[in-house]
Chain A
Amino acid sequence: MEPWHGHLLKERVDQSSLLIQGNRACVLGALDAGVRFYAGYPITPSSEIMEAMAFELPRAGGVFVQMEDEIASICACIGAALTGEVAMTATSGPGFSLMQEAIGYAIMVEAPLVIVNVMRAGPSTGRPTAPSQGDVMQARWGTHGDHPAIVLAASNVADMYRLTMAAVRFALRFRTPVTLLADQVVGQMRESFSEELIGRYRLTSGDFDFTPGYLHPDVAREVRRPHILGSGEHPHVTGLFHDETGFPTNDPEKTDKFLRDLYNKVAHHRDELCLYDVKNEGNGRVCIVAYGSCARSARAAWRLADQEGLSVEILHLYTLFPLPVEIIQKVARRVEFMIIPELNLGQYAHEVRKMAEQWTTVIGMNKTDGTLITPREILDRIAELVGKYESV
């Protein structure tokens, strides 16, 4: 199927430039990656994704369904995925909570899905219109049992486009749900975006052939051969531990192998799954480890620091899970401090600390008042740290 680009024209402000909202860029990425099924329930600050999908999908030959709630939404997506469709839904914290049980089911039945969570301040209804990164650990461990998780984090409009595409690719290759995290600022911001960039990240149409029953040619070796509805077979699908036939099993050896395969199909492919960017590599005693909108604050802080003669390294993570162990430990070995700015009370800093504290001091910087961390706040913290240790 050819990538479908009619929708892009509407976003053009002139021949060469586009100004697109993050949530809409996510929809463009999804369409370009072959998503043709969306079921959802609107919620601020993710609603524009659903709104755009409702408009675009029927025109792209896809199916859009507004469901009665988020539980039904994700279940509809699982059903679509089991027929070989690429399915997607988008939500925010309260809806993501409702989806957790079915996410476990999707993992167990190896249904490829993309779930976008545009985070708002929580818990509960919280502050619907304020940005947050409070759902990071929920994205990893929200559903019960030992399970794999692929979690990506977008920091700008271009990320919303390309990471949505990456999410589709990962979902198909590893046959598992992939969560893309954004926040109110990233989801609802509009930003200059060039068609050149779209070209650069476009996956070739050969990567995606979505005739029903089709299995991604590049599927990871640990994935069990899926039984696809509509393929002429009579598949049995269950959330119970099952064997190759799809029917339940209580055989200790089989269930143990099943769980380990499920887990390892992600853990063994960290190299491929862990997307990140290092700025100013090997220069400076301090590294800012950041993701999402905090990565933008970090970049701005890095420029300010540079003006003040302070050298700082930045590790910008696009993949939060599986944990990018190798790069974190590599950087940890060469810096004295790792600063982790987050719009939560230190959820990811805790993960980094476990990986890095034998080599470096890991310091969380946390804000939960519904505003972004400013570059100046990060710079002040760096100056304080470096100064404090110099004066000892």
Chain B
Amino acid sequence: MSGARGGTSPEQKPWDLLAGRDFIEVRFGGSGGQGVILMGVILATAATLDHRRVVQTESYGPEARGGYSRSDVIISNEAVDYPEVERADLLVAMSQPAATQYIGSLREEGIFIYDSESVTEPPLFRGTTFAVPFARMALEETGRKQTTNILALGAVATITGIVLADSLRKAVMGKVPPGTEELNSRALARGLALDPAEWQRGGAGAHS
């Protein structure tokens, strides 16, 4: 694997594993309260800023707190018919149940990104996999665990190039609660600065 890049530039050049695709299916999974649906909304907003056609759906449990939470985002160059993920190109799992439950929806050549502290028993997946301690990084960076989702989105953009970093920045600023812009901006920057090579667990790299 030759994906490792030297240097400690503040923002990584994206690996662009999904950039330029005409049709991309993304699934975010986690538990209620982690901001998983907001991740979907922000990604959808960023893709809209990139002039793509987007559909974002959400599915969650009836509980007021906890329970499962899922958000699907379909990004396309044309109008999208079926609004949910059929075969995901990218799965982002923020909890163990989400990883276990949704790994089957990820295509073999898809990308699997998970929070390595929440997902302690990663399901078997032979494709490209990244395990990142998002929650721990967020706590280090901002002192707030609530910024985990924004940090993870930055990492997703850097690994996949699915949306432009600028679009993602704008989308984050437009969607986070007023007063938290600075914290979330730091979390996002940390995610965007992540070196994919350092966190890759398996599968093909950027230049393989």
Contact = CB atoms under 8 A, between A and B. Distances in A.
B45 A185 contact: no
B81 A190 contact: no
Given A17-B48, A296-B81, A189 B86 contact: no
A259 B20 CA distance: 61
Contacts of A185: 57, 83-84
Given A191-B54, A192-B54, A375-B82, A129 B59 contact: yes
Interface string A36-47: 000000001000
B49 interface: yes
B62 A129 contact: yes
Contacts of B103: none
B39 interface: no
A8 B59 CA distance: 26
Interface residues on chain B, size class: 20 to 34
A250 to B, nearest CB: 49
Given A297-B82, A375-B86, A190 B59 contact: no
B82 A19 contact: no
B55 interface: yes
B81 A300 contact: yes
A234 interface: no
B60 A189 contact: no
A297 B60 CA distance: 21
A19 B44 contact: yes
Interface string B159-174: 0000000000001001
A188 B71 CA distance: 11
B41 A14 contact: no
- Residue among A129, A190, A303 with max Cβ neighbours from chain B (10 Å): A190
A353 interface: no
Contact of B61 (A129, A189, A192): A129
A293 B62 CA distance: 21
A127 interface: yes
Nearest to B59: A129
A173 to B, nearest CB: 31
Interface string B19-51: 000000000000000000000010011001101
Given A129-B59, A375-B86, A19 B48 contact: yes
Contact of B48 (A192, A297, A299): A192
19 contacts: A13-B171, A17-B48, A17-B49, A17-B51, A19-B44, A129-B60, A129-B62, A188-B57, A189-B58, A191-B54, A191-B56, A192-B52, A293-B83, A296-B81, A297-B82, A303-B81, A374-B82, A375-B82, A376-B86
Interface of B: 41, 44-45, 48-49, 51-62, 80-84, 86, 171, 174
Given A190-B56, A374-B86, A376-B86, 9 more contacts: A129-B59, A129-B61, A188-B57, A189-B57, A189-B58, A191-B80, A192-B53, A372-B82, A374-B82
Interface of A: 13-14, 17, 19, 44, 127-130, 185, 188-192, 293, 296-297, 299-300, 303, 372, 374-376
